[in-house]
Amino acid sequence: MTLRHMRNKTPICLAAASLSVLALVTPTTAAAQARPSGLELSLLGRYSAGAVGVGAAEITAYDAKTRRVFVVNAQQGTVDVLDLRDPRSPRKVTTLATPGANSVAVHDGLVAVAQQATNKTAAGTVAFFDARTGKKQRQVTVGALPDMLTFTEDGRQVVVANEGEPTSYCAGAVDDPEGSVSVIDVRRGTVRTAGFRAWNGKEDALRAKGVRISGPGASAAQDLEPEYITTEKGTAWVTLQENNALAIVDLDRATVRDIVPLGLKDHSRPANALDASDRDGKINIRTHPVKGVYMPDAISHFRDGGRTYLVTANEGDSRDWECHSDEVRVKDADLSPTAFPNAAELKKDAELGRLTVLADSPKDADGKYTELRVFGGRSITIRAADGSLVWDSGSELEQLVARELPAQFNSDNEENDSFDSRSDNKGPEPEGVTVGEVRGRTYAFVGLERVGGIVAYDVSDPRKPRQAGYVNTRDFTGDVEAGTAGDVGPEGVLFIDAHDSPTRTPLLVVGNEVSGTTSVYEIKS
């Protein structure tokens, strides 16, 4: 769930007295997974913004010089600044006025904040602040709906994913801006734009190679929607989530060098099994004749053997707008009798009937579905720098939750007592991912948006990653709406290296958008 889907929700405020009841709760923290890999995650501290369900704690960034964490608080239209000198007791010291904030990044004492306009289809801005004083230094104009931003490693540039999301596809009221990537020269304050107009008129060619172009009447530039970015040595890799693709951007020239399709995941293979029904009353992870569309949200990268590898969290995302929706349940789909001779059986609620699939899945000449494609991969994936697949976690995330939290399997993040309720739609929904090094080994940390918790993977061998731990500080005996359910809805996942940590041990900082909490975990090996 992204910020744009939460802004219209009514905030559920927590009374100050209730904050103390957010106790440390780690139901079945997968210690059995942590010990063999020598990695343990434990909750050190938590800060609550005091509002539930309104994105009061989302993306986080850390400044090592000031020992401060910067947290996007969409409910207030601010970035909350937390003192992390004692991570056991994070406290808010000030706020930055950042109306429309979607993302925050920090480099060497400089804070950058991406801000969407009041009319999200208008040009957005990036504001820069001093990390120590909070003083605003400058503001520059970027593309429509800047949804994420990051500094390059040298701090000379800020790269911005301008999603360019529409507000309507209604006839006569279409408002669909172009997606783009802004490249900001930090010292000069200049902005260059890497856009997608060069692909206008080539939409059929993009579709033919596997890039999803699906907005009604949309050009390629309008349909391609940048979501998340990672950068290295003059190159940016940008997830195009709804398009199931990756844009590779030359930062020196501020041009899109290539658009790479990410392919499909075959859920008929045992390694890729999934639970497809929320109405069968049980954990039922098995093969099905459907294909997964990876549609990653967050992306990170690491180096191994002189090569760059990308890590993605394959969340999946639909376009469910006024006058246009690309979702359909299998029981409401007209299935080809040739492709699906057992269609009547598949349409039962306990089989695939409840499963949400892409409405633009392939059809035959009669308009009957010949293939069923589901949103997201329910996994994390490692890819080479050219976007080619190296490894995918298959069904491991669902299998992990089934093993460690069977009573809460595929729960939703809006309420407790919601066992199996997300099986029909993206399962645990991996959203945020980051990479860090602990004692010479490389780990990926991924947040599970729905059931909650952070999964660690040892990716030191990019072709043979292994689970290295799971921690979940959600309290399934509490009330999500009342704010007594601990940490719910992890989105931004931030790794702090031991060298930069106030405790001299690696830390993980997580912004939990539903509970409005920022949680700090200690990582030990």
| Local structure of 205: helix, strand or coil | helix
| Per-residue confidence (pLDDT) for residue 169, from 0 to 100 | 84
CB 243 within 8 A of CB 212: yes
Q: What are phi and psi of 49, to 5 degrees?
A: -80, -15
Number of domains forming the structure of the chain: 1
- Among the listed residues 55, 43, 26, the one whose alpha carbon sits nearest the alpha carbon of residue 515: 55
| Per-residue confidence (pLDDT) for residue 36, from 0 to 100 | 41
| Per-residue confidence (pLDDT) for residue 12, from 0 to 100 | 37
pTM above 0.95, yes or no: no
User: What range does the domain containing 162 cover?
Assistant: 3-317+376-524
- The CATH number of the domain holding residue 276 is 2.130.10.10
Residue 434 lies in a domain: yes
Q: What is the mean pLDDT of the chain?
A: 93
How many C-beta atoms lie closer than 10 Å to residue 149's C-beta?
26
Residue 35 lies in a domain: yes
Residue 330 lies in a domain: no
| Per-residue confidence (pLDDT) for residue 37, from 0 to 100 | 52
Residue 19 lies in a domain: yes
Residue 188 lies in a domain: yes
| Local structure of 523: helix, strand or coil | strand
Residue 370 lies in a domain: no
CB 155 within 8 A of CB 186: yes
Q: Give the chain's residues under pLDDT 50.
A: 1-36
Per DSSP, the residues of 405-422 read -GGGTT--SS-SS-TTTT
CB 375 within 8 A of CB 360: no
* Residue in this structure with the two tokens 């045992």, named with its chain if needed: 270
Residue 431 lies in a domain: yes
The gap from C-alpha 509 to its chain's centroid, in whole angstroms, comes to 15
Residue 51 lies in a domain: yes
Structure tokens at 69: 């964490």
| Per-residue confidence (pLDDT) for residue 167, from 0 to 100 | 87
